[in-house]
């Protein structure tokens, strides 16, 4: 099973493979897609004032801009990427390559979460995420779950997902919880037992998201206490 | 009559697999398909609510998990009841369409969602005790008795914890009508001398 079977070819054939782009460029395109989306919402009332002949091309241009960005920034991942990302999270493989793969898997999870919850005005920066984890994420003296919890804390402190990634822009409570749930879902999914094929594994990610959604109050409490976060992560991974 | 779910538990006991969300979704989905094929009732399942059911059940399950392995078998029945309670409370399923010739004197058509929840819990319960404990479940004839279902539906709407007692009844066990939401293994150990349930709560 390859990812081609999950993503329709029509959404992939017109642009270069995202993995061929450098990480910062993917970040920029991700921003472009989100900006186009937000622009459309903001300009919606004004659009109605435009002459009819102008409205259609205007909307088409925005839609094309948004779709182009979205296509380019949705990472293609396969089973081996998931395995490498899992090894990175557990501390088995702490190489630079494993880190970059882990971050690209996070980007995949981010886009997946967006598609579940509709449009969102937060951005995820792979560059910021990778930089925050580049220097000693730890692992030698930690259990898999403790290391995963430490990585989550680093991503959070670095504001890898924010209105302006990498800067300390305060998020609303709802946005903060959204980011926490997304990263916890990603960790729980990666740390759990793999499904027999990629399709089922992606479905498992959806279940991880549904589970953290269902346990939102527990997630909020756990994110404020590292020991509890470790326990919660382990429990969720074992029960996924 | 029901066919037991035949979902492989993999390398671990079925009761362990049943504590995983992936197994729960898959087994529930299969039960929906099986029952739809059997009755002609089409169901719609809300996955988000179903995840909530599992999360709620898992908390309740862990809260009263017995300390000693000798109570594990008894806990299987209780845990199945907890699941029924969560399903009835959260309502993850709705009926999309009924067959044109539905006989509403049959439980499967009188309360299709409730019937699905009960058959699911009974089938998982039966599968676990058969695979993990080499015992057989012997469902009570009350399972097909419409008067029992009138009582069941009305009572659980007032007190969802009674779902646990009703599932015991349907499974052919001695229901605990007094404190159904409390796992009391000593009550089960003493069953031969325990008072028989006198009557179901009245339908109204």
pLDDT tens, A193-234?
999 999 999 999 999 999 999 999 999 999 999 999 999 999
CB contact under 8 A, A213 and B51: yes
**How far is A72 from A18, CA to CA, in rounded Å?**
5
Number of alpha helices (DSSP H) and beta strands (DSSP E) in chain B: 9, 2
pLDDT higher than 70, residue B19: yes
Contact residues of A toward B, CB < 8 A: 195, 204, 206-207, 210-211, 213-215, 238-240
Specify the higher pLDDT residue, A11 or A111.
A111
Q: What is the pLDDT of residue A50?
A: 63
Give the residue-averaged pLDDT of A37-64: 62
**Share of residues in chain A with pLDDT > 70 (%):** 65
**How far is A98 from A228, CA to CA, in rounded Å?**
27
Residue B159's alpha-carbon distances to A32, A44, B6, B81, in angstroms, are 53, 49, 32, 13
Q: Which of A59-68, A97-106, A136-145, B78-87 has the lowest mean pLDDT?
A: A59-68
pLDDT grade for A160, boundaries at 50, 70 and 90: very high
- Terminal-to-terminal C-alpha distance of chain B: 28
Give the residue-averaged pLDDT of A41-54: 62
Q: What is the pLDDT of residue A135?
A: 80
**How far is A100 from B178, CA to CA, in rounded Å?**
58
**How far is A201 from A195, CA to CA, in rounded Å?**
5
**b/e per residue B84-109 (b: at least 16 CB within 10 A):** bbbbbebebbeeeeeeeeeeeeebbb
What DSSP character marks residue B195? P
Q: What is the pLDDT of residue B77?
A: 96
In this structure, chain A runs to a length of: 240
* Shortest CA gap B52–chain A (Å): 5
In this structure, chain B runs to a length of: 204
Q: What is the pLDDT of residue A1?
A: 37
CB contact under 8 A, B52 and A239: no
Chain A residues inside the 8 Å CB shell of B55: 211, 214-215
CB contact under 8 A, B21 and A240: yes
pLDDT grade for B22, boundaries at 50, 70 and 90: very high
Give the residue-averaged pLDDT of A113-131: 86
Q: What is the pLDDT of residue B12?
A: 85
Q: What is the pLDDT of residue B164?
A: 97
CA B2, distance to chain mean position in Å, is 13
pLDDT grade for B8, boundaries at 50, 70 and 90: very low
Bridge partners, B53 (sequence order): none
**How far is A196 from A194, CA to CA, in rounded Å?**
6
* Shortest CA gap B57–chain A (Å): 11
Give the residue-averaged pLDDT of B15-43: 97
pLDDT higher than 60, residue A73: no
**Share of residues in chain A with pLDDT > 90 (%):** 56
* Shortest CA gap A9–chain B (Å): 27
Q: What is the pLDDT of residue A238?
A: 96
Q: Angle at the Cα of B2 (from B180 to B169), degrees rounded to 5?
A: 20
Among the ranges A37-41, A45-49, A111-115, B7-11, which has the highest mean pLDDT value? A111-115
Helix, strand or coil, per DSSP, at residue B43? strand
Token code pair at residue B134 = 């080499």
pLDDT higher than 60, residue B202: no
Q: Is B10 left (phi over 0), alpha (psi -120 to 50) or beta?
A: left
Chain B residues inside the 8 Å CB shell of A238: 20
Write out pLDDT tens, residues B105-135: 999 999 999 999 999 999 999 999 999 999 9
Chain B residues inside the 8 Å CB shell of A210: 21, 47-48, 50-51
Q: What is the pLDDT of residue A15?
A: 40
Give the residue-averaged pLDDT of B182-201: 59
Instruction: Give me the helices (H) in A118-162, please.
Output: 126-134, 144-157
Give the residue-averaged pLDDT of B69-81: 94
SS3 helix, strand, coil % of chain B, rounded to 5? 60, 5, 35
Nearest to B22 among A207, A214, A215 (CB): A207
Q: How many of the other CB atoms lie within 10 Å of CB of B133?
A: 14
Specify the higher pLDDT residue, A81 or A4.
A81
Token code pair at residue B10 = 């993999």
- Is the four-CA dihedral A13, A113, A155, A185 of positive or negative sign? negative
- Terminal-to-terminal C-alpha distance of chain A: 22
CB contact under 8 A, A215 and B48: no
pLDDT higher than 70, residue A33: no
Give the residue-averaged pLDDT of B137-160: 96
* Shortest CA gap B53–chain A (Å): 9
Specify the higher pLDDT residue, A19 or B19.
B19
Q: Which residues contact B197 (CB under 8 A, 6 or more apart)?
A: B169, B174, B175, B177
pLDDT grade for A12, boundaries at 50, 70 and 90: very low
Nearest alpha carbon to residue A216 among A230, A193, A236: A236
Average pLDDT of chain A to the nearest whole number: 81
pLDDT higher than 50, residue A4: no
Q: What is the pLDDT of residue A118?
A: 66
Average pLDDT of chain B to the nearest whole number: 89
Q: What is the pLDDT of residue A21?
A: 60
**How far is A234 from A90, CA to CA, in rounded Å?**
12
């Amino acid at each position: 099973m390859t990812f081609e079977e999950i993503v329709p070819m029509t959404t992939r054939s017109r642009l270069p493979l995202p993995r061929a782009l450098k990480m910062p460029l993917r970040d920029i395109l991700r921003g472009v897609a989100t900006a186009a989306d937000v622009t459309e919402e903001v300009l919606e009332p004004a659009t109605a004032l435009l002459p009819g002949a102008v409205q259609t091309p205007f909307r088409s241009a925005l839609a094309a801009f948004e779709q182009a960005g979205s296509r380019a920034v949705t990472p293609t991942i396969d089973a081996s990427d998931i395995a490498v990302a899992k090894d990175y999270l557990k501390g088995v493989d702490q190489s630079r390559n494993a880190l970059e793969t882990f971050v690209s898997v996070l980007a995949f999870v981010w886009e997946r979460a967006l598609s579940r919850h509709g449009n969102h005005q937060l951005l995820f920066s792979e560059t910021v995420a990778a930089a925050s984890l580049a220097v000693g994420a730890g692992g030698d003296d930690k259990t898999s779950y403790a290391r995963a919890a430490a990585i989550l804390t680093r991503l959070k402190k670095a504001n890898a997902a924010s209105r302006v990634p990498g800067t300390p822009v305060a998020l609303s409570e709802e946005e903060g919880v959204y980011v926490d749930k997304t990263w916890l879902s990603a960790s729980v999914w990666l740390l759990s037992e793999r499904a027999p094929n990629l399709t089922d594994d992606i479905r498992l990610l959806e279940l991880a998201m549904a589970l953290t959604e269902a346990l939102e109050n527990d997630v909020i409490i756990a994110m404020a206490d590292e020991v509890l976060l470790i326990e919660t992560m382990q429990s969720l991974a074992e029960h996924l | 009559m029901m066919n037991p779910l035949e979902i492989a538990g993999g390398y671990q006991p079925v009761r362990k697999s049943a504590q995983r969300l992936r197994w729960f979704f898959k087994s529930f989905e299969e039960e929906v398909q099986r029952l739809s094929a059997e009755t002609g009732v089409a169901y719609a399942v809300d996955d988000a609510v179903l995840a909530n059911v599992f999360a709620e059940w898992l908390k309740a399950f862990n809260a009263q998990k017995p300390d000693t392995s000798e109570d594990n078998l008894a806990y299987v029945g209780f845990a199945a009841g907890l699941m029924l309670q969560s399903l009835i409370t959260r309502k993850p399923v709705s009926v999309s369409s009924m067959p044109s010739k539905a006989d509403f004197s049959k439980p499967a058509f009188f309360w299709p969602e409730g019937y699905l929840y009960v058959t699911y819990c009974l089938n998982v319960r039966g599968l676990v005790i058969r695979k993990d404990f080499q015992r057989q479940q012997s469902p009570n004839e009350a399972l097909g008795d419409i008067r029992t279902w009138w009582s069941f539906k009305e009572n659980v709407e007032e007190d969802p914890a009674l779902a646990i007692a009703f599932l015991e009844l349907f499974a052919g066990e001695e229901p605990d009508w007094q404190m159904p939401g409390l796992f009391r293994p000593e009550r089960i150990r003493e069953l031969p001398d325990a008072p028989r349930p006198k009557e179901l709560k009245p339908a109204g």
